[in-house]
Amino acid sequence: MRRERGFRSRGGRGGRGRGGDGGGYRDGGGRDGNRDGGGGGGRGYGRNGRGGGGGGRGGRRHGRGRGRGGRHHNPRQSADSGNQRERIAIESGVLVLIDQFMLANPQFIDRLKSIIDEGPDAKDKVIRDYGGIVVEVSPDRYRIERDPYAYSIVVHPEGDEPESEEIQQLATDGKGTVFVDTRCLAMIDRELLDDSSLLDKYKQLWFSGQDKACRDLIRDNGGAVRYGFSRAGDELGVYVIPGQNIVALWPDVAEGTAAADAGSEA
């Protein structure tokens, strides 16, 4: 598999599966209750790669005709708007990257509540079990630069202006992979996951169909939400520049797939 635009490959992957009928975390199976899914399809995670089959996405995002994905949609303009708007306030020194749905996933929330008095390692394991990634950074305010044509997302301290080509060369410290099923990636301070009432409110909004209110709630609490790159979901490699507070994400893109999704939301 060849990565377009010179991005490095993270090695082979198992086949992308959309089956499964329960769970919602990496050691259990696919998700049910994903509003964007068709008939409860989800990702299946297994020791030998990505499993699954069966149900696919029959969700509302296909065939919109108007709005973000319309004929005159400009991905660059939309991305630039988000780049100017989105910020992350990190006070704990730990950035969490995770699919937006997982913050509403009852199983994820229950797992966090069950270890509320345990140390950070236990919380980090739960985050990874549900497809997320934890990255240590200095407490600061961060900007997010999403480039829909370079298929990259860069998180950096506000006021810095790193060059994208330089980041690709220097971001050599791989932290793992974040899995994005619902098109949107939540970026938050880890300490927000200790706020059970906030997560319960987010869950209530999500399952009542108020996706935008969920994203606004994240932003109101110092987090950010950005789109991935593929309508079918993303597996984004997470890299950092050693000694710097710069986090870079990019997907492994099959030939032709990236071009088909270039007009997706920003």
Q: What is the DSSP string of 144-194?
A: EEEETTTTEEEEEETT----HHHHHHH--EEEEEEEESSSEEEEEEGGGGG
Tens of pLDDT, residue by residue over 228-266, are 888 888 999 999 999 999 999 998 654 344 444 444 454
At 62 the pLDDT is 41
Residue 57: which H helix or E strand, with range? none
Provide the strand spans (E) within 28-170.
Answer: 44-46, 49-51, 87-90, 94-99, 133-136, 140-147, 152-157
Tokens at residue 87, please? Answer: 């910020």
Q: Enter the pTM of the model.
A: 0.68
At 229 the pLDDT is 87
At 255 the pLDDT is 39
At 75 the pLDDT is 53
At 21 the pLDDT is 39
At 85 the pLDDT is 58
At 164 the pLDDT is 72
Count of CB atoms situated within 10 Å of the CB of 256: 8
Residue 63: which H helix or E strand, with range? none
At 80 the pLDDT is 52
At 162 the pLDDT is 76
At 77 the pLDDT is 53
Which contacts (CB < 8 Å, 24+ apart) does range 115-118 have?
A: 116/194, 116/196
| 10-residue mean pLDDT series, the chain (266 residues) | 39 39 44 41 38 39 42 51 73 97 98 95 97 97 91 91 82 94 95 97 98 96 92 91 94 49 47
At 53 the pLDDT is 40
At 252 the pLDDT is 62
Residue 265, phi then psi, degrees to nearest 5: -60, 160
